[in-house]
Structure 1
Amino acid sequence: MSHALPRRAFAGLALLPLFGCAAPPAQAQRGALLALPDFADLAERVLPAVVSISVTSEAREIPPELRGTPFERYFRDRQRGRGPQVMGAGSGFVIDPSGLLVTNNHVIGNASRVQVTFQNGQEYPARLVGMDELTDLALLRIEAQGALPALSWGSSAALRVGNWVLAAGNPFGLGGSITSGIVSARGREIGAGPFDDFIQTDAPINPGNSGGPLFNMAGEVIGINTAIYSPSGASAGIGFAVPSDLARGVIDQLRGTGRVERGWLGVSVQDAEAEPGALRRGAAPAGGVLVAGVVRGSPASRAGLRQGDQVVAINGDAVDTSRALVRGIAAVPPGQTVRLSILRNGRPMELPVQVGRRPVEPQG
């Protein structure tokens, strides 16, 4: 099911007439007919590779008095296989004719059984290859006789606000559906995690669309539909998709090793502002990122990074926000050395740091 962001009630909205900017009715109608594309050929081409996913999980309610105690694990072990079955539904798409499929991590969850259904009615059991909670992505494999229809990745970086996009999936469990809209915004942060970089679209996305593809007009996957913002639980014209440029690297790692490894410094950081007069002293004009704390024994600690240092670049590439620093280091393979450009007490320095492996629950 799609994750919905916290619901908000909106009041006081009214439809107001616009004066002085409307074209004559006949001219407006002709313009609309010319402007709206026909999506039929595109839908026919991409839908065979879009699947509906049904999952079965066991619901095991932990008594409140046992949560957080040593008896919780014992209770879970005793109840495994005895709980009631809970059904869920989502969407996915084939990225390799051999049977590899992409969906959302939250669609799969702790499912004990995953079933994939194609547009032509063919059904296959699926097994999990790997999942990544931080980007909410998962990779599945099915065993099919013969090559499957597959989709290709497109570049989300090439998207512009206002571009047409199509969303495909399994809304409300109805099966293969396709909706159209535009890119409403890029780089959205919605509080889902440290790697938020969502594409916002007004193409209708509803519960069950999670894990389905967002297409450009070339039929390339430029996003994975993941979340909605809705006062009612249904589409309100504000949906979010993981951009393909982020998803592709994650899926490649899951395909190769079944897990995702990210670089880690071991620091807590916050955005910094440029000091008054920094330009006159020859310091970097960007505010950079302020090191608020360093984890003992971490890569940053071993390299000599200190609390109060101001990181302004990674390997010469400027970093202006703490989020950019976290993403930049996360993209570096563990074990590789990067060059941090820092300001220490206003003086520029270069600091080599051998990047570590990001823990499951990093301390900083």
Structure 2
Amino acid sequence: MNAEARNDSSPALTRRLALLLPAALAACARPAAAQRGLPDFADLAERVLPAVVSIQVTSRETAPDSRGTPFERGRRGQLVQGAGSGFIIEPSGVVVTNGHVVGNATRVTVTTQDGTDYPARVMGVDELTDIALLRITPRGPLSAVSLGVSANMRVGQWVMAAGNPFGLGGSITSGIISARGRDIGQGPFDDFIQTDAPINPGNSGGPLFSMAGEVIGINTAIYSPSGASAGIGFAVPSDLARPVIEALIRGGRVERGWLGVSVADADEQGRGRRGALIMGVERGSPAARAGLRQGDLVTALNGEAVATSRALVRGVAGLPPGETVRLTLTRGGRSQEVAVQIGRRPNDS
């Protein structure tokens, strides 16, 4: 029976195969047609890549940096070569990158997409957000990109990462925004965009683009047991980076507001409500002069609700030193408002 079936070449069978063939071809074509609904990054890449740069660094490392990778950091205490990425934010030659890329650099070279090398000067570094600015001197205006509004980005939207992975030069990868507001334990201003766009050693400091061609993040760190991309990358959101970049362009440093208190989340202390619980007040600090006390529960800053200790730290840090703010707090079960003149964060002096 099996032999007869294999050798059946009857006209009826031939007709059935002829009828099935177009259907089979159509089924094979469906995935390709479905793929046409996915974004095409070619036009976007062509438009923005001229503003993406590779960075080569010679530095003497004195301490390990957990934000970089061995490829980017080199060996402790030795004169080492490193590589990273960046993007041109001003046509006159201002380049944005990560602070840990330039590190204790003794020499920095920026290479544009056309292969031109420029010696670079470090304009300023903000360690708390891991952002650095470089200055190069081109012969004419360079291609530049602009910062977008990261708050407008939603989980699930397409993004494109660009940079210098493993020192190979200009490369792009694509993915989506996987999460927002990630705290990865790097500092008080952790508010990272998480993406599954592959980010590898050497990508640090490179831009994360929206489909509109705006920089909505600065690629900074990856989570990976192997040191290479595992589909979990983190970028500093553009909304956090923008005031830092503007401050570094103006004066080479970032001045932040300061209260002089240690705080904790109230809900983690069993208070049954949200807010920033003051755990200690530094002597002679703005908080001490305003009469704040240990045990005060701060629930609002200038009328805007404060749900966590991190929200209070960020809110105060974003204010200019010398400005007087209004804190709403609960003390002894009663709500009251206290005026505090913000000081200058000491480690930014």
Fold conserved (TM > 0.5)? yes
The match for 1:238 is 232
Gaps of 5+ in 1: 1-23, 62-82, 279-284
2:306 corresponds to 1:319:
yes
The match for 1:193 is 187
Aligned amino acid, residue 52 of structure 2 = V
The match for 1:54 is 56
Query: Structure 1 residues 120, 268: closer, same or farther in 2, change over 3 A?
Result: same
The correspondence of residues 182-261 of structure 1 with structure 2, limited to 5 A, is 182-261=176-255
Larger radius of gyration: 2
* CA drift at 1:158: 0.4
Structure with the largest fraction of helix: 2
Query: Structure 1 residues 180, 275: closer, same or farther in 2, change over 3 A?
Result: closer
The match for 1:292 is 279
2:338 corresponds to 1:351:
yes
Structure with the greater relative contact order (CA < 8 A, sep ≥ 6): 1 or 2?
1
Aligned amino acid, residue 234 of structure 1 = A
Aligned amino acid, residue 221 of structure 1 = V
Query: Structure 1 residues 266, 59: closer, same or farther in 2, change over 3 A?
Result: closer
Structure 1 Cα separation of the partners of residues 149 and 29 of structure 2: 36
CA RMSD between the two structures: 2.2
* CA drift at 1:85: 3.2
Relative to the length of structure 1, the TM-score reads: 0.82
Structure 2 Cα separation of the partners of residues 274 and 145 of structure 1: 56
* CA drift at 1:57: 1.4
Q: Does the 8 A contact of 2:51 with 2:88 survive in 1? A: yes
* CA drift at 1:274: 10
Aligned amino acid, residue 213 of structure 2 = G
Structure 1 Cα separation of the partners of residues 99 and 187 of structure 2: 13
Q: Does the 8 A contact of 1:286 with 1:312 survive in 2? A: no
The match for 2:20 is none
**Moved runs in structure 1, 4+ residues, more than 2 A?**
24-28, 58-61, 273-276
The match for 1:121 is 115
The match for 1:108 is 102
The match for 2:317 is 330
The match for 1:68 is none
State the SS of the aligned residue for 1:35. coil
Aligned amino acid, residue 318 of structure 2 = A
The match for 1:143 is 137
Aligned amino acid, residue 273 of structure 1 = D
The match for 1:17 is none
Relative to the length of structure 2, the TM-score reads: 0.85
CA offsets, 1:164-218, max 9 Å, x none? 0000000000000000000000000000110000000000000000000000000
The correspondence of residues 300-311 of structure 1 with structure 2, limited to 5 A, is 300-311=287-298
The correspondence of residues 161-176 of structure 1 with structure 2, limited to 5 A, is 161-176=155-170
Structure 2 Cα separation of the partners of residues 84 and 275 of structure 1: 45
Q: How many residues align?
A: 311
Gaps of 5+ in 2: 1-25, 64-76
Which of 47, 52, 56 aligns to 1:45? It is: 47
Q: Does the 8 A contact of 2:61 with 2:103 survive in 1? A: no
Structure 1 Cα separation of the partners of residues 309 and 146 of structure 2: 32
